[in-house]
């Protein structure tokens, strides 16, 4: 099966490309800067239709394109995050619409941050979207809207934090814990929706092989974790002692120096993968403690 990855040169895209190629798929990565490697790469600019469009014929399209979200919530960064997602998505839609043989199906990446700071509510795929904040709920709304008009079945993947060694999310968590900042953040009651890299890849296999169901799919572990419990598990896994909590004002101040968005730590979402569970997907790492024992 031919699988075309847009945004496949990022950390998550590289893992997915290598995984799919290892099982025998014909994987093509669309990239602005092709480099020699095991996965075939095709040049595109992420904005306009070009010769690369022929790669989409009869293929499964997986659109991961977008800049990393770990940045300050300034107007310029919000515009960058939106543009880096919307422009490639629209280019793909235009390219697919120009073909005699359209793509077989389309897996469109998105984020659970589209629900904003959702408190204690348990969110499945039918949950209402948040009105804000602009980063990332507002960006995600634009991202998902950009795929409208694709000439094939589209499944939107609202993903939790993907835990994978060497990637920004897990690296930041482990560094903070090792440096004595492994206490709860803010109240510690905020929910974190996450998924182990192996289950992310496994869910992608299921959606590619069995036929994606269309609509919205939550790609997240079945047991979200509160921040206080997540930080405790990290301290135990890394053999670190008790750490004092980090109050909200300090989180906001630290975010300035780390050039990140404090909402990444302070906002919470209690999301569950209703449709994956309905389709019989069995998670290898359903709890955060099991995932951490494997990853750290």
CATH of 2-295, picked from 3.40.50.800, 3.30.380.10, 3.10.20.70, 3.40.50.720, is 3.40.50.720
Rounded to two decimals, the pTM is 0.97
Return the closest-CA partner of residue 163 out of 155, 172, 154: 172
pLDDT band at 166 (very low <50, low <70, confident <90, very high): confident
Residue 167 has pLDDT above 90, yes or no: no
- Do residues 197 and 162 make contact, with C-beta atoms less than 8 angstroms apart? yes
Q: What is the 3-state secondary structure (H, E, C) of the chain?
A: CEEEEECCCCHHHHHHHHHHHHCCCEEEEEECCCCCCCCEEEECCCCCCCHHHHHHCCCEEEECCCCCCCCCCCHHHHHHHHHHHHHHHHHHHHHHHCCCCCCCEEEEEEEHHHHCCCCCCEECCCCCCCCCCHHHHHHHHHHHHCCCCCCCCEEEEEECEEECCCCHHHHHHHHHHHCCCCCCECCCCCEECEEEHHHHHHHHHHHHHCCCCCEEEEECCCCCEEHHHHHHHHHHHCCCCCCCCECHHHHHHHHHHHCCCCHHHHCCCEECCHHHHHCCCCCCCCCHHHHHHHHC
Residue 212 has pLDDT above 80, yes or no: no
Query: Which pLDDT score, from 0 to 100, does residue 211 have?
Result: 79
Query: Which pLDDT score, from 0 to 100, does residue 168 have?
Result: 87
Domain regions of the chain by residue span: 2-295
Query: Which pLDDT score, from 0 to 100, does residue 185 have?
Result: 97
pLDDT band at 213 (very low <50, low <70, confident <90, very high): confident
Q: What is the pLDDT of residues 114-156, one digit of tens each?
A: 999 999 999 999 999 999 999 999 999 999 999 999 999 999 9
Q: What angle do CA 237, 270, 89 make, to 5 degrees?
A: 100
Q: What is the pLDDT of residues 83-108, one digit of tens each?
A: 999 999 999 999 999 999 999 999 99
Q: What is the pLDDT of residues 248-291, one digit of tens each?
A: 999 999 999 989 999 999 999 999 999 999 999 999 999 999 99
Residue 189 has pLDDT above 90, yes or no: yes
């Amino acid at each position: 099966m031919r699988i075309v990855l847009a945004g496949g040169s990022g950390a998550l895209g590289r893992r997915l490309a290598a995984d799919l190629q290892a099982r025998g798929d014909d994987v093509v990565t669309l990239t602005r800067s092709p480099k020699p490697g095991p996965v075939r790469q095709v040049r595109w600019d992420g904005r306009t239709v070009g010769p690369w469009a022929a790669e989409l014929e009869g293929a499964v399209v997986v659109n991961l394109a977008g800049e990393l979200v770990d940045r300050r919530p300034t107007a310029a960064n919000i515009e960058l995050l939106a543009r880096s997602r919307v422009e490639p998505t629209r280019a793909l839609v235009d390219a697919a619409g120009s073909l005699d043989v359209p793509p077989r199906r389309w897996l469109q990446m998105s984020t659970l941050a589209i629900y904003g700071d959702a408190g204690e509510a348990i969110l499945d795929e039918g949950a209402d979207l948040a009105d804000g904040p602009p980063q990332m709920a507002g960006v995600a709304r634009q991202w998902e809207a950009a795929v409208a008009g694709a000439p094939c079945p589209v499944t939107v993947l609202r993903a939790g934090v993907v835990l994978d060694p060497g990637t920004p999310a897990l690296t930041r968590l482990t560094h903070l814990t090792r440096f004595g900042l492994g206490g709860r953040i803010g109240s510690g009651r905020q929910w974190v929706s996450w998924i182990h890299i192996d289950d992310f890849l496994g869910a992608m296999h299921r959606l590619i092989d069995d036929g994606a169901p269309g609509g919205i799919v939550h790609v997240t572990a079945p047991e979200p974790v509160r921040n206080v419990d997540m930080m405790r598990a990290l301290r135990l896994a890394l053999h670190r002692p008790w750490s004092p909590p980090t109050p909200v004002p300090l989180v906001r101040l630290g975010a300035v120096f780390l050039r990140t968005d404090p909402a990444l730590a302070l906002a919470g979402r209690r999301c569950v993968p209703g449709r994956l569970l309905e389709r019989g997907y069995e998670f290898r790492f359903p709890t955060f403690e099991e995932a951490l024992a494997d990853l750290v």
